[in-house]
Amino acid sequence: MRPTRWLVFSSMAAFTSAAIKQNCAHSCDSNGGCLPLIYLWGAQKAGTTSLYSMMHDVGVCGGNTRYSGFAHWTKDIKETHYLVSVDVPSRSRYTATFLSHDCPCRCFVEATPDNLFVPPTAARLRFMMNQAEAAQARFIIQLREPVSRMISYLQMERRFNRSDLAVETSIVTAQSIWNQYSADRPEWTSATALFASLNDCTVNKSKGGVGPAQCHQVAMTVANLGAAVMGGCSQPPMTAYDVNFASFGGTSPLTGCRSGYSPALSRGMYAPQLVFLLSQFSRSQVLLLSMDTFKSTDKTSYMQSILDFARIPATIAPTAFSSSSQLNRAGDHLDPMMDLARCTSRDALGEFYAPWNQVLYALEPDFPPFASFKEVKCM
């Protein structure tokens, strides 16, 4: 069970003097049930709690306990976990999680970070939306250097008593599970065979090497193959960064695909996870951010850009985040009170994720490269 302090924000002290002055774009029915149009789509352990707390402070709302499954909370729940837990979603049940009388500004945000890496979630969401809603949806994704993210996740599992394994043991176990999971999948063999062709990509438009157009095409191919492995089936291919919404919706999503969580090691393979989302929604609807940038840049302008992208009508005061311990905690790499991985295991994770980072950079040339995994503390 997740501790309340991570998911409910109704009693948190205000960080800003901003407030929403008018309603957000919304889609509510005559019964007061609303379909969120703003999604914090992950990544897990990459600062989504901090981003949500900022949004909540200016007036956005989370889900309602009556339909979220977390019976001891009343409202403003950050994570509903609905899209990761149902095979065929019910629009009436989902919209009843977000009630208009609980949120006067109609600025609903669904902030379950697991939505990013569970293969069918975007298809489940698109299945419930009409064409206009699909076109209005906004997705905010903040990514974290994957080795740091993985170790932080394993520490969290121990801290919340969801695992009795030491971090080192959990890494070895996760590697073994992934090796068994991917061993007989031809898409995995095809994807890894293409890694070398991305080594010469000109990610930052420098002279020499392979042109960015060719890099992007190879990256899309590898990302689609990785998504097929993670999903256990063929996803609708990500063929472009623009989606014809008329071609989606109205059918049960991704029949035969892996309905739940893929192995833990794959959660740091970000490019395939973008396939899950971008096979259903357009790239222009996605704001892709880096936790490294979040830690190093001015948080007021950073947060304001998120509000503007999400079309939340609020302006943040210049000194809003000067004393925010919640936001400052998002910059911590690891919990110093928990055990660490051995340096050899950390390096093995770094080698595993390195080519997938390269796929991400080729797919998204403007995305800033992650800090070195060598900065992650080890023993």
Confidence of residue 172 (pLDDT cuts 50, 70, 90): very high
Statement: residue 261 has pLDDT above 60: yes
The neighbour count for residue 19, using CB atoms within 10 Å, is 13
Asked if residue 64 belongs to a domain, the reply is yes
pLDDT of 87: 78
- Catalytic-labelled residue, pool 45, 75, 78, 295: 45
pLDDT per residue over 86-107, tens digit each? Answer: 877 889 889 988 989 888 899 9
Asked if residue 21 belongs to a domain, the reply is no
Asked if residue 36 belongs to a domain, the reply is yes
pLDDT of 210: 60
Statement: residue 3 has pLDDT above 50: no
Asked if residue 278 belongs to a domain, the reply is yes
Lowest mean pLDDT among 17-26, 166-175, 184-193: 17-26
Q: What is the mean pLDDT of residues 25-44?
A: 93
Gap between the Cα atoms of 25 and 108, Å rounded: 9
Q: What is the mean pLDDT of residues 108-127?
A: 91
Find the domain containing 154 and state its range: 27-244+251-375
pLDDT per residue over 278-323, tens digit each? Answer: 888 999 999 999 999 998 888 889 999 999 999 999 888 766 665 4
**CATH (domain of 347):** 3.40.50.300
Asked about 374 being catalytic, the answer comes back as: no
pLDDT of 360: 96
Asked if residue 13 belongs to a domain, the reply is no
pLDDT of 81: 87
Gap between the Cα atoms of 163 and 228, Å rounded: 28
pLDDT of 72: 47
Gap between the Cα atoms of 22 and 336, Å rounded: 43
138 appears as a binding residue in the annotation: no
Mean residue pLDDT across the chain: 82
144 appears as a binding residue in the annotation: yes
Gap between the Cα atoms of 321 and 342, Å rounded: 35
Confidence of residue 75 (pLDDT cuts 50, 70, 90): low
Confidence of residue 133 (pLDDT cuts 50, 70, 90): very high
pLDDT of 7: 35
Asked if residue 32 belongs to a domain, the reply is yes
Q: 12 vs 181, which has greater pLDDT?
A: 181
Contact 145, 290 (CB under 8 A): no
Q: What is the mean pLDDT of residues 327-351?
A: 77
Q: How many domains does the chain divide into?
A: 1
Asked if residue 354 belongs to a domain, the reply is yes
Statement: residue 18 has pLDDT above 80: no
Residue type, 193: A
Asked if residue 6 belongs to a domain, the reply is no
What's the whole-model pTM score? 0.87
